[in-house]
Each structure stands twice: as structure tokens, then as C-alpha cells.
Amino acid sequence: MIKNSLEEEKKRTLYGWAFKAGKEILEKLEATYGKEGAEKRMETILLNLRSELLPDKFRRELINTIVEVRPKIGIPVEVKTEQSWRINEFYRYSAAILAGFFDSLQSWKEEREGKEEQIEGA
């Protein structure tokens, strides 16, 4: 029960959205570029987002990535509203999004390594 409530809470947060979006982005990138290409492309996305020091540029880069890859996940209200982010919101939102994307990459890598180990063991 505690695990389910944590899963539900994750889904409702910006971090949870970024984690789920990151997984979908990785799946689409893997279908297009293969495993290694997907990993490198996601790392590039993370570095590009991390390098944006202004809230509007960060949001623009994030939206460009979403439009380019077209995951089946919607865009959260915090990202798509026209209201500019204050600096404290920018730090909070960007940290949550970057953490979600990074964790999705790590989770995706672990899943792929597990599948490879199962194939080798069979």
C-alpha cells in the first residue's frame, strides 16, 4: 500500500512527469537510433537542458525536445503556461525535470542490462 501511494505521488509531481516522459523519449529514441544511440541522444538532451541558464530558454529547449520526439505524454501545466517562471520556480522546476530525466535514463540502462543478462543466461 505504501509503495502504491508513493507511485501515485510520483505520477502527480513534475518529477514523476519527467520520469515517465524520459522513459517514453528513450523508447522512441531506441526505436530510431538503437540502444547506444538512444543513450547518447538522451545524454545530449540532459546536457542541453542543464546548460540553459534562463527559464524561458530552458522551457523552449524542453518543448523542442518533446516536439521532436513526440512522446505520448502530455505537457504539465507548469511548463505550458505562458506565465514566466520566477527564479525560485525555475530552480525547483528545472531540478525536478532534470532529475526525472536522469533517473529515467538510469532506470532504462538497468532494464537493458537486465534483459541482456537474461539473454546471455538462457
Helix locations, 1-122, DSSP H: 2-12, 14-51, 55-69, 77-80, 87-121
pLDDT of residue 48: 94
Determine the Cα–Cα distance for residues 51 and 17; give it in Å rounded to an integer. 21
Q: Which residue has the cell 524542453?
A: 62
Q: SS3 for 102?
A: helix
Angle at 83 between CA 78 and CA 88, to 5 degrees: 65
Closest Cα to residue 79, out of 68, 88, 70, 66? 66
What pLDDT, in 10s, does the model give residues 67-118? 988 888 888 888 888 888 999 999 999 999 999 999 999 999 999 887 777 7
What is the share, in percent, of the chain residues with pLDDT greater than 90? Answer: 61
Q: SS3 for 77?
A: helix
Confidence check: pLDDT of 5 > 70: no
Q: SS3 for 13?
A: coil
